Structure 1
Amino acid sequence: MSAQQQIITIDDISAENAPTIFVAGGLSRFIDAVKEEVCGEVPDLKTKKGRDRIASLSARVSTRKASVEKPGRDYLRHIKTLPKVVEDELREFVLTMNALRDEVRKPLTDWEAADQARKDRHVDAVQAIHDFCTDLADIGAAVLLESIASVEAVQMGDHWEEFETDAARAKESTLTKLRAALTARQQYEAEQAELVRLRAEAEAQAQRDREAEIARAAAEQARLQAEQRAQAERDAAIKREADAKAVADRRELELKFAAEQSERAAAQAARDKIEAEQRAAQQKIDDERRHQQAMAQAEADRIAAVQRAEQERIDSERRQAEAAENARLAEIARANAAADEINRQAAAREADKAHKARINRAALDAFVAGGMTEECAKQAITLIAQRKIPAISITY
């Protein structure tokens, strides 16, 4: 290697000295020079400054590569007679520089991958807390109590790292929603139990009323049957008396008929009188029986009317209870729909925020890879997102 070649640096490459540089093995000294620039220090990955330094060194490799590649490409186009040698040399140079760039950046790349995996684990853990609030509409109070206990058991601490605030907010929000759902569910279950109890009491009362009415009707029937039996016995006694008296009268008349023919007319008159009295007595008995039957029918009609009125009252109370229950269920459905809409809007805002954060992160990484420091890249993205840079915007 000549003295002129030894003192030429990457910044000195030009069209004039290109023929002495872009030859077989002529670029190796530049690879060594770049290695000395970027491999002479070991930045600390634990600090942001160290990570930024690695990104800067990696970007310097790309810059140095371009400083050699561009004049080399120009020289290659200039000398058509030696394309293969220059192309092979440049290809080897580019591959080596790319490998060097990747090798230099590998610790940062590995660290970023590990850090992203760590963040993903925390994000998944925070989402797991939010997932306890998914579809609370048909969950019973016992399950809600178990969910609340599970969320309350989530411990906050340093193991959450920078996600502790998000985890605490998620825990608080989830517990608030679960407790509100538990209160509503307990109230609903208590109301359902009360409705069951009221229905059971109404059915029991109706059963008692039916049994009491059956017993009263049976007693009334027994009373009527007893009165009918007593009336029949009275009728039979009257008839027996009448029959006995008739027999006695006939016997007496027969005895007197032979003795006193003249008294026959008087005896006949006496019999006629007795028969008239018997007919009058029988007519009285028949009238009384018909009166009692009419009274019994009137009482039966009154009882039926009372039963119909009571049944109408029970039906009216049932319809009122059903109307009140339907109104309460409609209010609960409206409140649940409003809560679902609030949750949907919050989820949409969180998704939009996460989407924009990913795009901003990708833009930040591109700026840093292009040679900007992370602080400058963040400021640039912020200004663009706030539309303070004319004719430039971020597409979300």
Structure 2
Amino acid sequence: MSVTALRAEAPETVDQNEDTGTALQVEADPAVVLRDPEKLAALYKRIDGKIAAHVPDLTTEKGRKATASLAFQIARTKTGIDAAAKKMTEEYRKATAEVNATRNEIVEQLEVKQKQARKPLTDWEDAEKARVERVIAELTRLRSAAIISIDETSSSIAERIATLQAEEFDREVFRDEWDEADRLKQMAIVRLEESLARILKEEADKAELDRLREEQAKRNFADSILDHINQARMGFIGGQPYPFVMIVRELEEKVRSSEVAPEYQDRVEAARIEALDFVKATHEEGQRKREAEAKAEQERREQEAATNAARDAAEKVTREAEQALAEERRKHQAELDRIERDRKAEADRIAQDHAAKETAERRVKAEADKRAADRTHRAEIMRAVKEGLMEAGEIDEATAKQIVMALVAGSIPHTTITF
């Protein structure tokens, strides 16, 4: 190599032993100067000595060749070192690839083992998260357990009360929220019992109103039959006058007291018989009057006067009866109107109470949800910081947890946790 040539032509001013040793090492292993800065410095020194000792003679061909030879020797040394460097680089790349492959395998295996080591804690955290979610869902359900729909009945509310009363909460599941769950349960039962009492009253009022309406319908129908009988008694059917035979047939065959409610049958039957008797009597009286036309005019007039008086009396009785019935109907209608007003006022009050309770319960639920979300958010950040501390250094979980609590409390200067 060129190093040999440089060694053979070394000037006397250079330490021959040192120079020869360096040259031999570089000749045997050009990469030595890449690993040992002192050897590289010795090589530079040797080359500088050769350059300094060389006296170029450019006037002769031999002198020019000597200068070119010196430069060529240096170039060969450069080429040998460069080739050694490239070889070292390739070997480094190969070793680096092997190290990276081993590193990747180690990281993968240790990650599996890390997950395996943490699995009991992960399983516990998952179970705890499921427990908390279940408790939150139960508390949410209990907060709305007293809400009733508009179409619920007393029986459905009573069943809901019985279901709530029989419900028990597992202390292992609810833990610190057990008292809250029991409080919400008792509060829901009280509110449902209040709703049950209110609806029972509403149902009773409705039943009474239905009964009164039914009684009114029965009374109205009976009154219409009595009015029909009174018209027939006066010789009219549907507001039109009819002959005696058709009036009698109407009272005997078409008017049936069995069609009205039992409590009005006797009254209707009595009116029918009385009207029939009256019509027959009136007709017989007319017959007698017609047969006695030959009698004295005074007798006829007296009889006519008696008949007119009887008719007036009957009309008076009818009018008084109608007035009494009208007054009774007016009073009854007034009572129905009062009951309807009371029912509507109570319904409006219930609707207002229900809306106010729903608004309050929604506000309470929103506040509770916000607090729960904040607690969960803070817990997740604190857990992430704790795990980051454990992964960043050899810190056990208890120590990492204490550091996190100190950060949250502001005990560590110039350091905070942002939630």
Shorter chain as normaliser: what TM range? 0.5 to 0.7
Partner of 1:124: 130
Which 5+ residue runs of structure 2 have no aligned equivalent? 1-33, 37-84, 150-155, 223-263
| Contact 2:385/2:404, CA 8 A, preserved across alignment | yes
Separation in structure 1 between the aligned mates of residue 370 and residue 134 of structure 2, nearest angstrom = 18
Distance in 2 of aligned mates of 1:88 and 1:145: 78
1:50-129 pair list within 5 angstroms: 82-90=88-96, 92-93=98-99, 96=102, 100=106, 107-129=113-135
Match for residue 274 of structure 2 among 223, 227, 231:
223
Aligned equivalent of 1:349, options 362, 371, 384: 371
Amino acid at match of 1:122: E
**Is the 2:209–2:339 contact (alpha carbons within 8 Å) kept by the matching residues of 1?**
no
- TM superposition shift of 1:115: 1.5
Q: Are residues 105 and 228 of structure 1, via their aligned partners in 2, closer, same or farther at CA, if it must alter by over 3 Å?
A: closer
| Contact kept? 1:151, 1:171, Cα under 8 Å | no
With CA pairs under 8 Å and 6+ residues apart, which has the higher RCO, 1 or 2?
Answer: 1
Q: Secondary structure at the match of 2:393?
A: coil
TM-score w.r.t. the length of structure 1 is 0.58
Superposition deviation, residue 365 in structure 1: 1.0
Question: Offset at 1:95?
Answer: 5.4
- Distance in 1, matches of 2:273 and 2:217, equals 18
1:204 aligns with 2:246: no
SS of equivalent residue, structure 2 residue 417? coil
Amino acid at match of 1:198: D
Tell me the distance in 2 between the aligned counterparts of 1:80 and 1:177.
79
1:378 counterpart (401, 406, 414): 401
| Residue segments in structure 1 that go unaligned for 5+ positions in a row | 1-17, 21-78, 157-163, 247-273
* Aligned pair partner of 1:173 in 177, 180, 183: 180
Residue in 2 aligned with 1:300?
322
Q: CA–CA distance in 1 between the matches of 2:374 and 2:108? A: 33
In the TM superposition, 1:1-396 aligns within 5 A as 19=35, 82-90=88-96, 92-93=98-99, 96=102, 100=106, 107-132=113-138, 133-134=140-141, 136=145, 137-138=147-148, 141=157, 142=159, 145-146=162-163, 149=166, 151-152=168-169, 154=170, 156=171, 164=172, 167-211=174-218, 214=222, 215=264, 216=267, 219-220=270-271, 222-237=273-288, 239-240=290-291, 242-243=292-293, 246=295, 274-371=296-393, 373=395, 374-387=397-410, 389=412, 392-396=415-419
Judged with a 3 Å threshold, the aligned counterparts in structure 2 of structure 1 residues 82 and 325 are, in CA distance, closer, same or farther, namely: same
Question: Could you say if the C-alpha distance between residues 353 and 126 of structure 1 is closer, same or farther in structure 2, counting changes exceeding 3 Å?
Answer: closer
Deviation at 1:378, TM superposition (A): 3.0
- Separation in structure 1 between the aligned mates of residue 277 and residue 211 of structure 2, nearest angstrom: 32
Q: 1:130 to 1:175 in 2, by over 3 A?
A: farther
Judge conservation of contact 1:364–1:377 (CA < 8 Å) in 2.
yes
Calculate percent identity across the aligned residue pairs. 17
After superposition, give the CA deviation of every residue in 1:109-153 in whole Å (9 maximum; x if it has no partner). 32323321222123313432443343533585435644664644x
Q: Distance in 2 between the 1:375 and 1:121 partners?
A: 21
Displacement of 1:337: 2.7
How many corresponding residue pairs?
282
Task: Please tell me whether the aligned partners of residues 384 and 392 of structure 1 are also in contact (alpha carbons under 8 angstroms).
Answer: yes
- 1-structure distance, mates of 2:288, 2:95: 149
Letter in 1 for 2:319: Q
CA distance in 1, matches of 2:302, 2:181: 96
- Cα–Cα, structure 1 residues 295 and 322, in superposed 2: closer, same or farther, change >3 Å? same
Cα contact 2:161–2:189 (8 A) shared by 1:
yes
Which residue identity lines up with residue 174 of structure 2 in the other structure? A
1:380–1:372: structure 2 CA closer, same or farther, 3 Å change rule?
farther
State whether residues 389 and 400 of structure 2, in contact with CA within 8 Å, keep that contact through their aligned partners in structure 1.
Answer: yes
TM-score by length of 2: 0.56
CA contact (8 A) 2:407 2:415 kept: yes
Is the CA contact (8 Å cut-off) linking 2:165 and 2:189 kept in structure 1?
no
The answer on whether the counterparts of 1:144 and 1:178 sit within 8 Å (CA) in structure 2 is no
Q: 1:371 to 1:144 in 2, by over 3 A?
A: farther
Distance verdict in 2 for CA 1:226–1:187, change over 3 Å:
farther
Match of 1:50 in 2: none
Root-mean-square deviation (CA), in Å?
A: 3.7
Aligned residue type for 2:400 = A
Name the CA distance, whole Å, in 2 between partners of 1:332 and 1:85: 83
Structure number with larger C-alpha Rg: 2
CA, structure 1 residues 109+333, in 2 after alignment: closer, same or farther (shift >3 Å)? same
